[in-house]
Structure 1
Amino acid sequence: MILIADSGSTKTEWALVSKNHTEIFETTGMNPYFLTQPELEKILEHVNKKLKGDTVSKVVFFGAGCNSSEKMGLMKMLLKKSFLNCEIEVNSDLVGAAKALFGKNKGIAVILGTGANSGYFNGKEISFKTESLGYILGDEGSGAYLGKQFITKLLYNELPKEIENDFTKEYKIRKPEILENIYQKPNANRYLASFAVFIKKHIGNSEVKKIVKDAFNVHIVNHLL
């Protein structure tokens, strides 16, 4: 059987593929830029428990953060430890997205998840891409970026009153708690991206729609033009 992973910063989707059956399950995200080696190992332990002794011959891992030889090497080493005597293949999530979109054809692939990534796929590999600077300096158009723009406007009282009221009613949190979650707790990128659900819910509001439109435009200008 082949185990395929599509891993972002928030969640990882796994597919256990055999000749006659495909089983799909999820774990938390496995971005090696944001998680320590012990944290990654713990997630892989959970994956092995999910497999319930099923024999895996090959693991194909497409992951956010696996865009350098160092991080790809780390992930490959951890997978080899977890899946003994298996063929291991590690690549970026962008390569996985491009192969799913284009097969062996050429095209521009864009991922807008918790983070953001885009590049030109030549039919075999990503042959050109702009630098990814992460959620603090970049990730334009991503869930974390949208959340950051929205929360900034919220805390500066720049959003319509009905949006502020709906936010307070739904989340029941105030400025000190928001800042604590961003600056003092781990996984601030996931926390910021979690507000994308609220943004989508209120996309009919002109101010909220402008946040989304501006974010996508920035991604296009910085990474696609």
Structure 2
Amino acid sequence: MNSRPPSLVEIATKQCINYCQFITDVGDIPFWVVKPILARLSPEQLTLVESNSQHIMPASDILWRDHIIRTFKDRKLPDSNFRETYHRFCHDKEAQLDAATERLKMKQKQYNLNKKATSVVALKESELPFSQRGPPQAAFKSRSMQSVAKRMSSNYTLRKAPATKFSQFDNIKPLSNSLSITPSNRPASPSVSSSLAVASKPTKMNIKPMPSSATASTISGLKRKRTSPLFHPRRS
């Protein structure tokens, strides 16, 4: 099998394909020479080369057909004007993306408003009503102890102290400041009517003052001295 060496055009074309990302202009080279190179360019690069070398534009319209097939697979392929069709499809796609972005922003804004309206705000202990305040909690490093303290604080309610057994008699007012009952006027069989009668006519009672502690000790000492067998009172 005879193999010929590559021509100078083939070598130049291969090198241009390897560095096609740096091509911005083809000068006055005919389209059939640079067609393999232009086929490897991106849509943005092809647009730039066409604007700098406008002599290839009538023949380079066929290159846009491949870009439509690769980029817009769900669109119907037109019969001609591939360049204009590609730019129109790109414009429609950008409009759809802008509309979708605007709808997403509106939904995100509405979500933030709803979240702010239903969010839980942490209040200080001094800002809570007195009935909802819990006991002072110590700082716990353990998460389990923190959860227990939080549960106890949420279930804590102030309760009214139970009434003592003597509190039911606090509202009873005395009938009189002084009340005395002597054995002479006390009936043999007491009744409610007689008790009320006695309570309605109180008599004053002579109450001797109690001796002080010193006086009481002196009196008790004299009594013990008199009862002692060694005590002999002086005779006058």
Higher strand share: 1
Scaled to the shorter chain, the TM-score interval is under 0.3
Q: If the length of structure 1 is used for normalisation, what is the TM-score?
A: 0.16
Higher RCO, Cα 8 Å, sep 6+: 1
Q: If the length of structure 2 is used for normalisation, what is the TM-score?
A: 0.16
Q: Of the two, which has the highest radius of gyration?
A: 2
Higher helix share: 2
